[in-house]
């Protein structure tokens, strides 16, 4: 077994004009997840989303590349679930051992203008302009903003 190098990673902070409860629901409600958990030019069919947001619970979803129909399955295990404050889960290939998967931490903090969300992904490299993990998540979090504002 290869252990993921969790010293690699990146953080993206965004303020959303939504309450922590609304942002939390976007991450934990299958109907909401299907609306935003993908970069632009991809979609997430509702029937592909399964969530069990409790410690040890699993989730899986499939993104579809709109232009080609290519399907990308992602999933993982919830490691920490503190409603409206913090969500920690493994992310990537759902068949990978959770001990060898990248880990996402989503922290929510109420602020005057809504919610400050700090997204951290550990276990993969990433930087602005990489055309990979950072840029994919950066775009996905823009789709989240669009979802929350709709």
Summarised one tens digit per residue, pLDDT across range 44-54 is 999 999 999 99
pTM: 0.93
pLDDT tens digits, 18-49? 999 999 999 999 999 999 999 999 999 999 99
Contacts of 54 (CB under 8 A, 6+ apart): 78, 81
Distance CA 116, CA 100 (A): 29
Q: Which CATH architecture has domain 9-149?
A: 2-Layer Sandwich (3.30)
Rounded-to-integer distance, Cα 41 and Cα 144, Å:
14
């Amino acid at each position: 077994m290869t252990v993921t190098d969790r010293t690699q990673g990146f953080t993206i902070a965004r303020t959303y004009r939504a309450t922590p409860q609304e942002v939390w629901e976007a991450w934990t409600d299958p109907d909401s997840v299907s609306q935003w958990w993908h970069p632009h030019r991809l979609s997430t069919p509702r029937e592909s989303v399964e969530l069990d947001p409790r410690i040890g619970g699993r989730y899986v979803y499939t993104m579809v590349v709109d232009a080609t129909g290519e399907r990308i399955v992602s999933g993982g295990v919830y490691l920490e679930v503190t409603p409206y404050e913090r969500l920690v889960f493994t992310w990537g290939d759902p068949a990978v051992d959770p001990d060898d998967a990248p880990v996402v931490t989503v922290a929510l903090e109420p602020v005057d203008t809504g919610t400050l969300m700090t997204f951290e992904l550990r276990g993969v490299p990433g930087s602005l302009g990489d055309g990979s993990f950072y840029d994919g998540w950066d775009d996905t979090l823009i789709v989240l903003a669009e979802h929350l504002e709709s």
